[in-house]
Amino acid sequence: MADGTPTDRFWRIVALVALLISGLFVGERYLRVYFLAADEPRVTVPRPELTGREQVATQVFANTAPSVAYIFTQQPGTRLGAAAVGGTGSGFVWDRAGHIVTNAHVVEGASEVGVVIDQGDVIPARVVGRAPWADLAVLRLTRPPANLQPIAVGTSSDLAVGQAVFAIGNPFGLARTLTSGIISALDRTLPTESGREIAGVIQTDAAINPGNSGGPLVDSAGRLIGVNTAILAPSGTFTGVGFAVPVDTVNRIVPEIIRTGRAPLAGIGIRVFPVELTARLGAPGVVIQSVTPGSGADRAGLRGMDELGRPGDIIIAANGERITELADLTRALEKAGIGNTVSLTVLRDGSRRTVEVEVQDINA
């Protein structure tokens, strides 16, 4: 019997080759699974040495995390406990006596406060005092552990834009979280609930989210350089812009609260127009809206808005230094000190005059 025409033989060869190729393809898949499947624990690859930046970050966390506090609060009418938490925030150990520093807004209105240190038990704490105008508060543990580790304190006077910083806290209730970044800007101002502005605020791109409030911002040496307090985001979540109260402000206010339960606030007894309205008025300084009767400003003859709604005196200088916004005036008053006088240059009806005003404790 003939084997067929050459054309038939060609197509039989093609079919055979195709069958062999498909068989190899399917068989290869089964062979790969059979011979190459990792059905036993893999051999681990040794880790190389951490990079310099990784070593810094891990060391900062190891040294600082034991000083970071997890703060739970309860509002009046509720009971403190893990099943009935009202609010959470962060803080840090200030001294071995059991003082904890946090944001004032973290403990505002709280009837009870609980603190967790270094993954331990919840320790009840009481509020020693608050400074809402700097968004700072001090707590004291009712049963301070013997092994408390106060945070190392640095300074904010020599910070530089671009230097590395680390934030440790409890964002969204996730305890002992480390984020890193750089100082994005210095000498920002931040409005507070009291109508004042915190001067010298640190801006950072280290992630700060709800729950980080009151936690420490530290440098690469693990030293406290600021207290994380706010983010700039309509959604309430981090977008790359966070703020921290500078440690030099913290180191001035916290000891006062520990000693007396309060922090003196340098002022002269005035209320000023918001910066937006001042800008619309085209005023070259801080515009006085009202003057507190009997205050240093009142005794010096400063004037606020009159009965016809005309703006009051415009403060343009303090002790010879230019004043363009409230933060400038705040710094000048703090520099002068409570009980001393400050020389203010003001504009009234287009005329310039200089007055001596006593700086007083307006938080008394």
Catalytic residues: 105, 135, 213
Q: Please name which of 291, 267, 286 lies closest in space to residue 342, comparing C-alpha atoms.
A: 267
DSSP helix/strand/coil, 264: coil
Contacts 24+ apart (CB under 8 A), 180-186: 180/57, 180/206, 181/205, 181/206, 181/207, 182/206, 183/159, 184/241, 185/161, 186/159, 186/161
For 26, phi then psi, to 5°, come to -70, -40
Under 8 Å between Cβ of 334 and 266: yes
Total Cβ atoms within 10 A of residue 120: 11
Q: Please name which of 342, 343, 349, 362 lies closest in space to residue 314, comparing C-alpha atoms.
A: 349
Dihedral Cα 287, 336, 152, 162, nearest 10 deg: 50
Total Cβ atoms within 10 A of residue 112: 17
Tokens of residue 350, six digits = 């287009």
* Euclidean distance between CA atoms 135 and 189, whole angstroms: 13
* Integer CA distances (angstroms), 259 to 60, 99, 129, 250, 290, in order: 30, 12, 10, 14, 32
Largest CA distance in the chain: 130
The HSE-up count of residue 11 (CA atoms within 13 Å, CB side) is: 5
Under 8 Å between Cβ of 150 and 47: no
DSSP helix/strand/coil, 80: coil
